[in-house]
Amino acid sequence: MTAHLSRRGFLKSAAAAGAALYIGANAKGVMAAASSADAALNPFVKIGADGRAIALIKHVEFGQGPATGLTTLIAEELGVTMDQITYEFAPSDPQVYNNLLFGPFQGTGGSTAMANSWMQYRNAGAAAREMLISAAAKEWGVDAASLDIVDGMVTGGGNSASMGDFVAAAAEMDVPAEPRLRDASEWKLIGNDATRRLDSPIKVNGQAQFAMDVHLDNQMVVMIKRTPQKGGVVASFDDSAAKDVKGFIMAQALPTKHGVAVYAENTWAAMQARNAIEVEWDNSAAESRSSAEIKDEIMAALDAEPTYNVNKADRAAVKAAVDGAATVLEKTFYFPLLAHAPMEPLNCTIEQTAEGKIVLHDGAQMPTGPHMAYQQIFELPADKIEINSMLAGGSFGRRATPDADYQVEAGLAFIMTDRSRPVKLVWDREDDIRSGYYRPAVGHKVRVGLDENGTIIGWDHQVAGQSIMKGTAFEAMAVHEGIDHSTVEGIADSPYTIPGQSLGLTDTKKATSVLWWRSVGHTHTAYVMEVMMDLAAKAAGQDPVDFRLSYLTGGGEADRKAAVLKLAAEKAGWGNAPAGHTQGIAVHKSFGSYVAEVVEISGNNDDGIVIEKVTAAVDCGIAVNPDTVRAQIEGGIGYGIGHAMRDQITLDGGAVEQSNFPDYEPLRISDIKEIETHIIASAEAPTGIGEPGTPPSAPALANAIAALTDDSQLIAELPMAEAGVYFA
């Protein structure tokens, strides 16, 4: 095969024009092409005359892998190797870069990055391929059907030339409405276990730029002295001692009075100055209850008639069935407030350009949130606000507040200045732990009745806790007939077929600001469902795996759930644990994916329990980057188990008692000795992977502990360490 004779001619004209092929969407959201960055189009892929491709990533990269994953989709369809393509983060544009599952809103959440981008990014890559091929076919006078792009070269019928040679001509063509997607049999990259993360190199040599690393000329650092009690406001403050801190600039109460903004020349000066400021708080409207009072209220709600009958069951009939059952199991569970505590404390930097634009540098999980908020704060149209999306050092939900809390803080701190100096807002770990948005405290009470054969004949399930969605912009989407689905997801939509189940929900009084936390409602619903399944299996005298399988009989999603359960059991050697080891199992569907986990422990509760191994099986549809899938399951397990072991946020007189990692102790390297993940081969479209590893992890551990100790009360309230479990 030889390079086509006309290649030089193309190179000349293309390079001279700085030509490029951009495939993206125009303002109407319709797939479109352009030949330069000036076009009114935001691309998903850019291809240069040098044959290099760049994927535009519309989702935040905080470790879950979209930078590599979405680039893989483009590369596969286009026909380039992973070495011939790179990525950039997309700007804020809710029309083009919206999450297709969120409406006109750009954001990452609900483990949807791959699921919503799967067809969109493949279509963009495929359209680019077809246009480049058409341009080459025209130039060479051959049938386009005889050509393909292989490793970045347009190839076929004895011709071969860099795809970069055809970008100028391709950009003049119509974008195919339905480009041919490569058949799975052609895939070289999707599902390829050899693909490495594209963001690894910069993350091992210190070059990765997180928002915390932004350092603009002449910037000020702002830290906020916040109310210790949620809802308190600044009555007055005294900054006289701060004036002795070198680098202190000024202090001003935020317009919301939720804190005092302290401006300084650098981060350390801001920390010192903030410590020196005395604030008088008006706590008349603030939360003043303690965690014990809040818990009492939740537990009392579980014994009252629920506000909402979620599944419209005849509860009286269910209760009667349970009351008349041969065996009745009753268990009450409590889950505390939890902080997200991403490694990178919250921060963002805001500046005004010479042209009057406002630019936000942010590890933005939901760019549309601050984009809309800033239109109000700065009274500017959307096109005068830019968001520079950067790497984020973790989130677990925290960077996606419906009220764009920290970006609004930065905006307010900036608007109180003359805007001549950029403002970098920095939170420290104490801010993060004390002033957070928390996984709500939740209680469950479940009564299960079994007949004399050990079959479930009634399951009365009551849930009470503070709603996450009510009162936010997401209420219309997530709350129906008063029911916040995020509090009961994982029960209301469980693939188990449980005869005679009633599900009630009561919202309890607002205690603090609450928020989705990696896997949202599944953090507690999976726990309760799976611990109860184990208790019922034990009461029935049946094996926990066999018992669960007898309720996974509906076909479809029940089959997929059963398949991961069986695979995890098989791979873990279920029932054949080494001497001195005890196993526990749990399985759960969340975010469209199915995960089963077996936790194997050793030791005892007197000398200490050791987590020896976790074996996971996952069905997340097509695993685009299998190693990323494994990594997310590993991380999801660690996140779930670490918090269940020993973390909680408690309030004393309305103020958060914890402050930093010493009293909100993260999972440590020695806590789990080994994790093994098995992926079910699938032809289904990809579903979530960032969150689904978390829900089954804590109940699988709980079930192992209950099996070891024969004491299920040890695992009824979290964290386990607080309830009497001793981890070595």
Q: Which of 366, 534, 517 is nearest to 446 (CA)?
A: 534
CA distances in angstroms from 293 to 227, 297, 331, 462, listed in the order given: 21, 6, 21, 19
Name the one range near other proteins by CB under 8 A: 20-28, 197-205, 478-486, 593-601.
197-205
Q: Using the rule CB under 8 A, which residue among 148, 213, 403, 557 binds other proteins?
A: 213
Q: How far is CA 511 from the centre of its chain?
A: 24
Name the one range near other proteins by CB under 8 A: 195-203, 223-231, 487-495, 702-710.
195-203
Q: Is the dihedral of CA 269, 272, 275, 276 positive or negative?
A: negative
Shortest spacing between CB 83 and other proteins, in angstroms = 14
Instruction: Answer whether 333's CB lies under 8 Å from 443's CB.
Output: yes
Q: Using the rule CB under 8 A, which residue among 672, 705, 707, 718 binds other proteins?
A: 672
Shortest spacing between CB 540 and other proteins, in angstroms = 35
Starting at the edge strand found earlier in the chain, the sheet holding 675-679 runs 581-590, 593-604, 608-619, 675-679
Name the H helices within 141-211: 167-171, 200-204
Amino acid identity, residue 273? A
Q: Using the rule CB under 8 A, which residue among 667, 679, 689, 707 binds other proteins?
A: 667
Instruction: Answer whether 723's CB lies under 8 Å from 714's CB.
Output: yes
Binding-residue pattern over the window 455 to 494 for other proteins, x denoting contact by CB under 8 A: ----------------------------------------
Q: Using the rule CB under 8 A, which residue among 345, 436, 592, 621 binds other proteins?
A: 345
Specify the residue, 452 or 607, whose C-beta has the smaller distance to other proteins: 607
Shortest spacing between CB 421 and other proteins, in angstroms = 15
Specify the residue, 348 or 385, whose C-beta has the smaller distance to other proteins: 348
Angle at 639 between CA 360 and CA 635, to 5 degrees: 80
Shortest spacing between CB 210 and other proteins, in angstroms = 6
Beta bridge partner(s), residue 209 = none
Hey, how many other C-beta atoms are within 10 angstroms of the C-beta on 265?
18
Binding-residue pattern over the window 299 to 338 for other proteins, x denoting contact by CB under 8 A: ----------------------------------------
Binding-residue pattern over the window 623 to 652 for other proteins, x denoting contact by CB under 8 A: ----xx--xx-xx-xxx--x----------
The H or E element spanning position 624 is none
What is the Cα–Cα distance from 492 to 131, expressed in whole angstroms?
A: 47
Q: Which of 438, 427, 271 is nearest to 347 (CA)?
A: 427
Name the one range near other proteins by CB under 8 A: 116-124, 138-146, 468-476, 670-678.
670-678
Q: Which of residues 255-294 bind other proteins (CB under 8 A)?
A: 266-268, 271
What is the Cα–Cα distance from 494 to 525, expressed in whole angstroms?
A: 10
Name the one range near other proteins by CB under 8 A: 81-89, 200-208, 229-237, 278-286.
200-208
Name the one range near other proteins by CB under 8 A: 193-201, 380-388, 411-419, 534-542.
193-201
Q: Which of residues 387-426 bind other proteins (CB under 8 A)?
A: 391-394, 396
- The contacts of residue 570 (CB under 8 Å, 6+ apart) are none
Angle at 497 between CA 494 and CA 503, to 5 degrees: 60
Q: Is position 696 an interface residue for other proteins (rule: CB under 8 A)?
A: no
Q: Using the rule CB under 8 A, which residue among 12, 203, 312, 509 binds other proteins?
A: 203
Instruction: Answer whether 619's CB lies under 8 Å from 551's CB.
Output: no
Q: Using the rule CB under 8 A, which residue among 10, 22, 44, 62 binds other proteins?
A: 62
Specify the residue, 177 or 204, whose C-beta has the smaller distance to other proteins: 204
The H or E element spanning position 111 is none
Binding-residue pattern over the window 673 to 692 for other proteins, x denoting contact by CB under 8 A: xxx-----------------
Positions of E strands within 29-89: 31-34, 42-48, 53-57, 85-89
Instruction: Answer whether 182's CB lies under 8 Å from 126's CB.
Output: yes
Residue ranges in contact with other proteins by CB under 8 A:
62-65, 196-197, 199-210, 212-213, 215, 246, 266-268, 271, 341-345, 391-394, 396, 428-429, 627-628, 631-632, 634-635, 637-639, 642, 660-662, 666-675
